[in-house]
């Protein structure tokens, strides 16, 4: 019972981290059809910035998160203007893969040159450190914080996309970009804003999830595949899809690590092959003809 | 792209085998330069040729069929492991080992091709990654068979044809790899200019149109994947025999990404481009490898971005169009 409980908590927290980081990638792939393998690299920048703000500048945890998100978005702007605009929409996936791998390598090299190639810790504030007693059992507070962050992110994204004018325009641009253009919706602005949103979410997830996916020099490469898998299993552009895929894969991975540590990875990818083969557009994805 | 296809169709009668002979001589010439000018670096050059087979194999799949894959090292790695395991279990004849590599590579190619070519775009990419990771995971976990993270070592193949033994300076390995490269390259040149190869190009350019003129796409792509697997298998077998070790790096995601970079650097869709990309990239890596790995990553990243922005069709394409422009006035006269 105790084992089941701790597996479930860990799986939920891990799944939420995957969700917060991957949902940005999912929105971007659903909207702009860019296979952005560099998404993890931006999450890594967020982590490094937060670590720098916390340890070297002595900032408060919440300020550090803000610095990480805003700083990463600022860093990403030149990439968007100079590089990503070339590969939005009708570009060859091979070129997208190559350019974003190139961006990943570049970011890994530069970030490690600037901040040093050691593992960066993100010290937690006393409020989030230690266990929290919830009546019949005590849980690590940080896990609960991560889960709460994931839920809040999912809810506010849902509100943003379903209930606001921006969301309406965004959905119009996803479904028929030429028609949206013709109706006077400025799709480049929508694209730029969505790019910033996606990168910001990635950075946020990188910082919040640093306890579970530690910030280290090869972070961007190590988790590149995982984030892409979450998106393709869930279906690009779907919040429900990303959430369920994150939970599913988080559960599969955590259970595997607890119960059969020697074969966790193997069953994970076997499951991915099975799911992608049966649902090529993901569990909740729409096919873009 | 259609103009490129047109160029591949011989416009007039020419000497039979002239193109093949030219390729064979050119590669032999390059090999001779390597052999006589850099006798100290033959081990590196042998490794380069091994990887060049993998890039050629990727060229068949990506350059001629338009399949984006990030798991291609699986074909190479499976063959290398098969050769290593066979050699340790007592099969030491190099030619037989080569056969083992080719057969396993081709089988692996057929299996992964059957899965990957069913889809296009993102699902295809994710399936290729997942297959690559699956193979890497198996290589890591089946340690009783593959040695796990220590890899396989102590692969000591016997003498080639019972005469030439593998020596410390990799002379035999280099010459063997070189002759195989010439044979395989000439065969591949035949293949890509055959009706089958041209049809694969047609599928790459516009698969809907190809379907409409009555081509069944799926079996052709799977077959091409099988051939690519055999070519990758040659590379895997040679690398396993010449280095004597097979490690996890031969199936890693990084290896898959690296060969894709080499292919696009040279120019996807040209066998010469694949070869040139492998040579340029690996020599560049060999020279910079001593530096800090992060400087190395920055350089490769920058190189990649520059290629995608400024020369998306690789280095060989402008060169070839230059050559054909030089030849154009001559043939018109």
Q: How confident is the model at residue B1 (pLDDT cuts 50, 70, 90)?
A: very low
Question: What pLDDT is stored for residue B78 in this prediction?
Answer: 92
What does the alpha-carbon distance between residue A103 and residue A83 come to, in Å, rounded to a whole number? 9
Query: Is-contact A43 A21, C-beta < 8 A?
Result: yes
Query: Which residues does residue A139 pair with via DSSP β-bridges, in sequence order?
Result: A132
Taking only the tens place, the pLDDT of each residue in A40-92 is 999 999 999 998 888 888 888 888 899 999 999 999 999 888 888 888 766 67
Taking only the tens place, the pLDDT of each residue in B72-101 is 899 999 999 999 888 888 888 888 888 999
Question: What pLDDT is stored for residue B168 in this prediction?
Answer: 67
Question: What pLDDT is stored for residue B14 in this prediction?
Answer: 64
Query: Is-contact A11 A33, C-beta < 8 A?
Result: no
Q: Mean of the pLDDT values across residues B304-332?
A: 74
Question: What pLDDT is stored for residue B328 in this prediction?
Answer: 65
Q: Look at chain A and report how many structural domains it folds into.
A: 1
Query: Which residues does residue B164 pair with via DSSP β-bridges, in sequence order?
Result: B160
What does the alpha-carbon distance between residue B124 and residue B110 come to, in Å, rounded to a whole number? 15
Q: Which residues of B247-285 are buried (b: 16+ CB within 10 A; e: fewer)?
A: bbebbbbebbbbbbbbbbbbbbbbbbbbbbbbbebbeee
Q: Mean of the pLDDT values across residues B16-33?
A: 82
* CA dihedral angle for residue B16, residue B21, residue B22, residue B27, rounded to 10 degrees: 160
Q: Which among B125, B130, B312 has the least Cβ separation from residue A95?
A: B312
Q: Which among B129, B141, B295 has the least Cβ separation from residue A225?
A: B129
Query: Which residues does residue A131 pair with via DSSP β-bridges, in sequence order?
Result: A140
Q: Give B134 to chain A, closest Cα distance, Å.
A: 6
Question: What pLDDT is stored for residue B38 in this prediction?
Answer: 80
Question: What pLDDT is stored for residue B79 in this prediction?
Answer: 92
Residue with the bigger pLDDT between B227 and B333: it is B227
| Residue A224 lies in domain | 2-116+142-278
pLDDT above 70 for A247: yes
Kindly write down the DSSP assignment for every residue of A173-205, as one continuous string: HHH-HHHHHHTT--HHHHHHHHHHHHHHHHHHH
- H or E stretch including B103? helix B94-116
- A162 occurs within a structural domain: yes
- A134 occurs within a structural domain: no
Question: What pLDDT is stored for residue A203 in this prediction?
Answer: 92
- Find, among B100, B95, B101, the residue nearest to B75 by Cα: B101
Q: Mean of the pLDDT values across residues B270-292?
A: 83
- Find, among A61, A67, A64, the residue nearest to A128 by Cα: A61
ipTM: 0.80
The number of CA neighbours under 13 Å toward the Cβ of A81 is 5
What does the alpha-carbon distance between residue B323 and residue B317 come to, in Å, rounded to a whole number? 10
Taking only the tens place, the pLDDT of each residue in A96-131 is 888 888 899 899 889 888 888 888 888 887 777 777
Question: What pLDDT is stored for residue B51 in this prediction?
Answer: 92
Query: Is-contact B268 B314, C-beta < 8 A?
Result: yes
CA distances (Å), origin A17, targets A192, B160, B161, B310, B316: 24, 55, 58, 37, 44
Residue of chain B nearest A86, judged by CA positions: B309
Q: How confident is the model at residue B2 (pLDDT cuts 50, 70, 90)?
A: very low
pLDDT above 50 for B308: yes
pTM of the model: 0.84
With a pLDDT cut of 70, the percent of chain B lying above it is 92
Q: Mean of the pLDDT values across residues A134-141?
A: 73
Q: Which among B66, B299, B304 has the least Cβ separation from residue A101?
A: B304
Question: What pLDDT is stored for residue B43 in this prediction?
Answer: 84
pLDDT above 80 for B154: no
Tell me the CATH number at A81.
1.10.3470
What does the alpha-carbon distance between residue A212 and residue A221 come to, in Å, rounded to a whole number? 16
- A84 occurs within a structural domain: yes
Q: How confident is the model at residue A142 (pLDDT cuts 50, 70, 90)?
A: confident
The dihedral of CA B43, B47, B50, B56: what is its sign? negative
The answer to whether A29 contacts chain B (CB < 8 Å) is yes
pLDDT above 80 for A10: yes
Choose the mutation target among A36, A88, A94 for the interface with B, i.e. most B CBs under 10 Å. A94
Q: Which among A93, A105, A270 has the least Cβ separation from residue B301?
A: A105
Taking only the tens place, the pLDDT of each residue in A181-237 is 888 888 888 888 889 999 999 999 988 888 888 888 888 888 888 888 888 888 877
Q: Mean of the pLDDT values across residues A161-186?
A: 84
Residue of chain B nearest A82, judged by CA positions: B309
pLDDT above 80 for A134: no
Question: What pLDDT is stored for residue B329 in this prediction?
Answer: 59
Taking only the tens place, the pLDDT of each residue in A227-241 is 888 888 888 778 888
pLDDT above 70 for B8: no
Q: Which among B123, B253, B254 has the least Cβ separation from residue A276?
A: B123
Query: Is-contact B233 B79, C-beta < 8 A?
Result: yes
- A286 occurs within a structural domain: no
SS3 (DSSP) at B92: coil
Identify the residue whose tokens are 């099975």. Answer: A274
Question: What pLDDT is stored for residue B53 in this prediction?
Answer: 92
Taking only the tens place, the pLDDT of each residue in B128-150 is 888 888 888 888 888 777 777 77
- A133 occurs within a structural domain: no
Question: What pLDDT is stored for residue A69 in this prediction?
Answer: 92
Residue of chain A nearest B299, judged by CA positions: A106
The dihedral of CA A221, A226, A230, A235: what is its sign? positive
Residue of chain A nearest B295, judged by CA positions: A109
Query: Is-contact A105 B298, C-beta < 8 A?
Result: yes
Contact A269/B137, CB-based, under 8 Å? yes
Residues of chain A neighbouring B68 (CB-CB closer than 8 A): 93-94, 97
pLDDT above 80 for B46: yes
- A195 occurs within a structural domain: yes
DSSP type of residue A131: E
Question: What pLDDT is stored for residue B332 in this prediction?
Answer: 42
pLDDT above 90 for A275: no
The answer to whether A104 contacts chain B (CB < 8 Å) is yes
What does the alpha-carbon distance between residue A90 and residue A289 come to, in Å, rounded to a whole number? 12
Residue A141 CA, distance from chain mean position:
22
* CA dihedral angle for residue B217, residue B219, residue B224, residue B227, rounded to 10 degrees: -170
- A129 occurs within a structural domain: no
* B148 CB burial (10 A radius; 0-12, 13-18, 19+): middle
Contact A98/B115, CB-based, under 8 Å? no
Q: How confident is the model at residue B333 (pLDDT cuts 50, 70, 90)?
A: very low
What does the alpha-carbon distance between residue B325 and residue B333 come to, in Å, rounded to a whole number? 13
The number of CA neighbours under 13 Å toward the Cβ of B272 is 14
Contact A109/B301, CB-based, under 8 Å? yes
Residues of chain B neighbouring A104 (CB-CB closer than 8 A): 301
Contact A83/B260, CB-based, under 8 Å? no
Q: Mean of the pLDDT values across residues B226-239?
A: 92
The number of CA neighbours under 13 Å toward the Cβ of A215 is 30
Residue with the bigger pLDDT between B324 and A145: it is A145
Question: What pLDDT is stored for residue B7 in this prediction?
Answer: 55
């Amino acid at each position: 019972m105790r084992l089941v409980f701790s597996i479930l908590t860990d799986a939920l927290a891990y799944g939420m981290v995957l969700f917060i980081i991957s949902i940005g990638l999912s929105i971007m792939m659903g909207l702009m059809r860019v296979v952005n393998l560099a998404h993890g690299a931006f999450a890594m920048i967020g982590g490094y910035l937060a670590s720098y703000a916390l340890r070297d500048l002595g900032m408060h945890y919440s300020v550090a998160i803000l610095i990480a998100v805003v700083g990463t978005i600022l860093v990403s702007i030149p990439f968007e203007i100079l590089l990503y605009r070339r590969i939005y929409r009708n570009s060859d996936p091979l070129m997208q893969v190559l350019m974003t791998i190139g961006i990943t390598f570049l970011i890994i090299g530069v970030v490690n040159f600037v901040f040093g190639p050691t593992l960066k810790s993100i010290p937690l504030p006393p409020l989030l450190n230690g266990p929290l007693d919830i009546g019949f059992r005590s849980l690590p507070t940080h896990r609960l914080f991560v889960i709460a962050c994931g839920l809040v992110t999912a809810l506010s994204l849902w509100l943003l996309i379903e209930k606001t004018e921006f969301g309406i325009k965004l959905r119009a641009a996803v479904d028929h970009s030429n028609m949206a253009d013709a109706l006077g919706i400025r799709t480049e602005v929508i694209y730029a804003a969505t790019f910033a949103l996606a990168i910001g979410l990635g950075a946020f997830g990188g910082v919040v999830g640093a306890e579970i996916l530690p910030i280290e020099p090869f972070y961007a490469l190590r988790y590149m595949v995982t984030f892409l898998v979450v998106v393709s299993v869930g279906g690009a552009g779907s919040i429900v899809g990303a959430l369920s895929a994150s939970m599913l894969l988080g559960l599969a991975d955590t259970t595997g690590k607890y119960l059969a540590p020697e074969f966790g990875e193997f069953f994970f990818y076997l499951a991915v092959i099975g799911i992608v083969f049966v649902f090529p557009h993901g569990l909740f994805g729409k096919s873009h003809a | 792209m259609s103009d490129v296809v047109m160029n591949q169709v011989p416009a007039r009668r020419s000497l039979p085998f002239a193109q093949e002979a030219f390729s064979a001589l050119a590669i032999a010439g390059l090999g001779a330069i390597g052999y006589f000018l850099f006798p100290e670096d033959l081990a590196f050059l042998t490794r380069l040729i091994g990887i060049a087979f993998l890039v050629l194999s990727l060229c068949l799949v990506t350059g001629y069929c338009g399949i984006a894959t990030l798991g291609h090292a699986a074909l190479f790695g499976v063959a290398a492991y098969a050769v290593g395991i066979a050699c340790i279990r007592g099969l030491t004849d190099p030619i037989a080992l080569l056969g083992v590599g080719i057969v396993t590579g081709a089988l692996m190619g057929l299996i992964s091709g059957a899965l990957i070519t069913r889809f296009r775009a993102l699902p295809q990419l994710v399936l290729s990654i997942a297959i690559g990771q699956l193979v890497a995971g198996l290589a890591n976990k089946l340690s009783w068979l593959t040695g796990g993270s220590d890899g396989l070592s102590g692969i000591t193949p016997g003498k080639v044809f019972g005469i030439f033994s593998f020596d410390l300076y990799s002379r035999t390995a280099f010459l063997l790899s070189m002759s195989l490269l010439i044979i395989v390259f000439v065969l591949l040149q035949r293949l890509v200019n055959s009706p089958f190869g041209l049809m694969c190009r047609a599928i790459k350019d516009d698969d809907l149109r190809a379907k409409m003129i009555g081509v069944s796409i799926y079996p052709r792509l799977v077959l091409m994947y099988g051939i690519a697997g055999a070519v990758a298998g040659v590379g895997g077998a040679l690398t396993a025999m010449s280095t004597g070790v097979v490690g996890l790096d031969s199936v890693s995601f990084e290896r898959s990404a690296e060969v894709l970079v080499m292919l696009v650097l040279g120019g996807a869709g040209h066998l010469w481009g694949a070869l040139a990309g492998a040579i340029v990239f690996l020599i560049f890596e060999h020279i910079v490898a001593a530096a800090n790995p992060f400087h190395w990553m920055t350089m490769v990243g920058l190189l990649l971005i520059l290629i995608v922005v400024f020369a998306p069709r690789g280095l060989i394409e402008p060169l070839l169009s230059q050559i054909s422009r030089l030849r154009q006035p001559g043939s018109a006269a």
